[in-house]
Chain A
Amino acid sequence: MGAVTFDEVTKKFGDVVAVDRFSVRIEDGEFMVLLGPSGCGKSTALRMIAGLEEVSGGILSIGERVVNNVAARDRDIAMVFQSYALYPHMTVAKNIESPLAANRKVRLPAAERATRVAEAAEILGLTDYLGRKPGELSGGQRQRVALARAIVRRPEVFLMDEPLSNLDAKLRTQTRLELVDLHRRLGTTFVYVTHDQVEAMTMADRIVVINEGRIQQVGAPQAVYESPANLFVATFIGSPPMNLISGKVSASAGGSVEVTTDAGTVTSTCSASLSKGADVVVGIRPEHLSLSETTSSGKGLRAKVENIELLGHERHVICSAAGSKIVFRQANDAAPVALGQEVTLDAEPDGTHLFDPTSTQRLN
């Protein structure tokens, strides 16, 4: 079975810890995305699954087999690289056949290899291109050859290292859908590395958010978006990012917490009881803020409109509120605000997140 299990897996390059005690189980057949900024250790984690990097500590298993000391070629995995890594001197057919023919000891009979190559080419629409060299193909076609080379060996796990980043925006959107479709048809485990949150949100069954070598949160895309585990996840996922304002707890009772900030007071749904006067960071996504109808209630955040971005279907209004920048979304048919206008913003209590300023962890 193609489950991948990290158990306290660590990778060190000299004194630098690239991957720090990873523990996560990627289920068989799951589309798991490793998401994080450049240099966070996500590619290193992927390369450890592939066997291209040695594991410095902990136990890494594929299926029920511990693979810490298993050679890359014996792991029953296939990988798609960012640059596609096609052999430039071989035809498309030879490139696709390569994993089946490379190792003479375990080589399949020629007829079987030809059938498999034809099948993989058919799945990815490459049948007409089998006689060409990679240099004669477009970026998107090369990308599909790389995918065909991966699926031809029918591995237990597919590994993909930012496979879409060399494609132009239009092709990227399209290939995203193709990959999701491919995953559905093959039903194999996919482990996909990206720094692009859109790719993560649109394709993943679950996301592992990584920063500075550590797992920050594991969960379904919507869950990660709706209840980020800490300040890093809160700001990394979502565009425009979540608004953050510092404040103090002014009341805490009956499943809700009132926080007073320099810009005003907000209420958050919070089952935990927080001590009065405690420092918190309030996080509110732009879509959970709206212009207040009643200005007299004394609640809400007072802000001044500084800039307006028009996106056609909606507007992003950028305001300053007691030294913090606050962005909120407005539908394009809502009454427009003017630059310099003083506004009061209401926050939805369910969309108001509270974080501990020292540990950065989520409080509610």
Chain B
Amino acid sequence: MATDKPITNPEFPGTDSAETASANAGTPTVESAQGKAVVASDLRPPKKSARHYLGLTGSYLLLTSLSVVILFPIYMLILRAVSSPLAYISAGQPLHPVDIQWDVFKVAFVDANLGRAMGLSFVVTMIIVTAQLVTATLAAYAFAFLEFPFKNVFFGLIVGTLLLPIEVTLIANVETIRRIGMLNSVQGLTLPFLATAVGIFLIRQGFLGIPSEIRDASNLDGYGHFRFMFKVALPMSKPIVGSFIVISFLGAWNQYVWPRFATDRQKWQTVQVALKTIGSENPERLNLSFAAAIVAALPLLVLLIFFQRQIVRGLTAGAVKG
């Protein structure tokens, strides 16, 4: 309210002053300023006690040690990637790099075929994320806002598929893909993942969080189903949609089992399969595997930085009253 400009409309005299007054009520500064009973030192922040600083030190110590626990494996990964493998082992596997070789990343990317695998994974991931977003949004909209027979039964069946691990459907899916001639193809890599119960469930939850009065208001305003979805429902569910995009991207990028079964040529290796191949084909060059793992994780790092706020808001949505 402090930044509000006064309303100059003569139609409603006193409108803003009343609101400002009610907004100011309860702020002690107004009264004390008028009363002039305030000593200047009272306005300074109160002196922090030793106990306060002790508490602060404690929490910093705790957070730092937790960060060390989380960051240590990553440090070791980088350390072992850049160290020459033999020199590192003969040096007794110390906590510092030995005989640093920076070109290992280039070797992994170019010579070990990681670049091509990452390109393919990127295409596959983009197709899967886009398709999942479209199908999940449409299905979630139907389950959240439309009435149709057996709605709850269908929803139960869809959510039920979450209980099936990939191993259950793997053989049947591979057989289907083989029969329709889609082994070793982008279609084969993406087809089983174009829709997902996780997405439908998450986005439906987001849609259900939209107050019914907003739904009524947009009905009166004249929004049709599609415009309501794009102009109101999706923007209002942005945090949840954002976290779903991340979940979907992570899942698609990190896929190993399906690409392993749906392809049998090196040309069609996705990034996780390629990582495995690099390891088994170069057992003497362990640093190559580590370097490849780092390169393969970079897109995820970028994604997490980009969507950080959305993820936190999405995961805590509904936990705190808005």
Q: Is A82 an interface residue (CB 8 A)?
A: yes
Residue with the highest number of chain A CB atoms closer than 10 Å, among B5, B19, B224, B231: B19
Measured CB to CB, the nearest residue on chain B to A50 is B220
| Contact between chains at B222 and A73 (CB < 8 Å) | yes
Q: Is the CB of A125 within 8 A of B19?
A: no
Contacts of B220 in A (CB 8 A): 50-52, 72-73, 77-79, 99
Q: How far is the CA of A174 from the CA of B5 in the complex (A)?
A: 20
| Chain A CB within 8 A of B227 CB | yes
Does chain A have a CB within 8 A of B134? no
Residues of A within 8 A of B224 (CB): 103
Chain B residues with Cβ under 8 A from A77's Cβ? 220
Distance to closest chain B CB from A186 (angstroms): 12
Q: Is B180 an interface residue, CB under 8 A from the partner?
A: no
What's the Cα separation between A99 and B15 when bound, in Å?
Answer: 26
B1-49: which have CB < 8 Å to A? 1, 4-5, 7, 9, 11-12, 14-16, 18-19, 22-23
Minimum Cβ distance to chain A for residue B206 (Å)? 13
- Judged by a CB distance under 8 angstroms, whether B232 is at the interface is yes
Q: Is the CB–CB distance between B7 and A125 below 8 Å?
A: yes
- Inside 8 A of A104's CB, which chain B residues have their CB? 227
Known: A103-B222, A103-B223, A106-B222. A85 touches B15 (CB 8 A): no
**Chain A residues whose CB sits within 8 angstroms of the CB of B4 once the complex forms:** 138
- 8 Å CB contact of A85 from B5, B11, B211, B223: B211
For A140, what are the chain B residues with a Cβ–Cβ distance below 8 Å? Answer: 15, 18-19
Within 8 A of A (CB), among B234-276: 235-236, 238
Task: Name B's interface SS.
Answer: helix
Is B147 engaged at the interface, CB distance under 8 Å to the other chain? no
- What interface size band does chain A fall in? 35 or more
Size of interface on B: residues with Cβ below 8 Å to A:
32
With A and B bound together, what is the CA distance between A125 and B19 in angstroms? 13
Which of B12, B18, B217, B235 contacts A170, CB < 8 Å?
B18
Known: A73-B221, A102-B222, A138-B1. A85 touches B213 (CB 8 A): yes
Question: Does residue A171 face the partner (Cβ distance < 8 Å to B)?
Answer: yes
The distance in angstroms between the C-alpha atoms of A73 and B216, with both chains bound, is 10
Binary contact readout A97-122 vs B (1 if CB under 8 angstroms, 0 otherwise): 01100111010000000000000001
List chain A residues, Cβ under 8 A from B9.
122, 124-125, 127
Q: How far is the CB of A229 from chain B (nearest CB, A)?
A: 33
A68 vs B236: C-alpha distance when bound (angstroms) = 32
- Whether A125 and B14, one on each chain, are in contact in the complex, defined by CB atoms closer than 8 angstroms, is no
Q: Judge whether B19 and A141 touch: CB under 8 Å.
A: yes
Q: Which of B16, B18, B222 has the most CB of A within 10 A?
A: B222
Q: Is A89 an interface residue (CB 8 A)?
A: yes
Report if A123 contacts B (CB, 8 A): yes
A192 to B64, CA, bound (A): 60
B130 in the interface (beta carbon within 8 A): no
Q: Is B66 engaged at the interface, CB distance under 8 Å to the other chain?
A: no
Indicate which residue in B7, B22, B217 contacts A171 across the interface (CB closer than 8 Å).
B22
Question: Which listed residue (B11, B22, B235) contacts A168, Cβ 8 A?
Answer: B22
Q: Chain A nearest CB: distance from B29 CB in Å? A: 19
Closest to A122 in B: B9
Using A89-B235, A89-B236, A174-B18 as known contacts, say yes or no to A98 and B221 having CB atoms under 8 A apart. yes
Q: How far is the CB of B236 from chain A (nearest CB, A)?
A: 6
Interface residue? A333 (CB, 8 A): no
Residue pair A81, B213 in contact (C-beta under 8 Å): yes
**Cα–Cα, bound, A72→B218 (Å):** 10
Q: Does B214 reach chain A (CB closer than 8 Å)?
A: yes
A361 at the interface (CB under 8 A from B): no
| CB atoms of B219 and A125 under 8 A apart | no
- Give chain A residues whose Cβ lies under 8 Å from the Cβ of B12: 124-125, 178
The interface residues of chain A lying within 8 Å CB-to-CB of B219 are 51-52, 72-73
Bound-state CA distance A78–B14 (Å) is 27
Q: Scan residues 221-237 of chain A and give those whose CB is less than 8 A from a CB of chain B.
A: none
CB–CB A128/B5 < 8 A: yes
A255 is an interface residue with CB less than 8 A from chain B: no
Cα-based distance from A262 to B235 in the complex (angstroms): 68
**Is A187 an interface residue when CB atoms closer than 8 A count as contact?**
no
Q: Tell me if A82 and B236 are in contact (CB < 8 A).
A: no
Q: From the candidates B211, B235, B236, name the one contacting A83 in the complex (CB within 8 A).
A: B211
Contacting residues, chain B, for A83 (C-beta < 8 A): 211, 213
Partner of B216 from the list A85, A87, A128 (CB cut-off 8 Å) is: A85
Look across to chain B and name the residue whose beta carbon is closest to the beta carbon of A81.
Answer: B213
Residues of B within 8 A of A178 (CB): 12, 15
A128 to B16, CA, bound (A): 12
Given A87-B232, A89-B235, A128-B5, A99–B222 Cβ distance below 8 Å? yes
The complex places the Cα of A138 from the Cα of B4 at a distance, in Å, of 10
Using known A-B contacts A52-B219, A88-B236, determine if residue A82 contacts B213 with beta carbons closer than 8 Å: yes
A84 — nearest CB in chain B belongs to which residue? B213
Could you tell me which residues of chain A, from 128 to 142, have a CB within 8 Å of some CB in chain B? 128, 138, 140-141
Q: Does B22 lie within 8 Å of A52, measured CB to CB?
A: no
* Chain A residues in 8 Å Cβ range of B216: 47, 50, 52, 79, 81, 85
A58-102 interface bits toward B, Cβ cutoff 8 Å, 1 = contact, 0 = none: 000000000000001100011101110101110000000011001
Q: Is the CB of B211 within 8 A of A138?
A: no
Query: What is the CB-to-nearest-CB distance from B302 to chain A, in angstroms, rounded to a whole number?
Result: 26
Q: CB-nearest residue of chain B relative to A121?
A: B9
Give 9 A-B contacts (CB < 8 Å), ordered by A residue. Answer: A52-B216, A52-B219, A87-B217, A87-B218, A102-B221, A102-B222, A102-B223, A141-B19, A171-B18
Top 6 A-B residue pairs of the complex, sorted by shortest distance between their CB atoms: A125-B9, A103-B222, A73-B222, A85-B213, A85-B217, A102-B221
A83-B211, A83-B213, A171-B22 known, 8 other contacts, Cβ within 8 Å: A73-B220, A77-B220, A85-B216, A85-B217, A88-B236, A102-B222, A138-B23, A170-B18
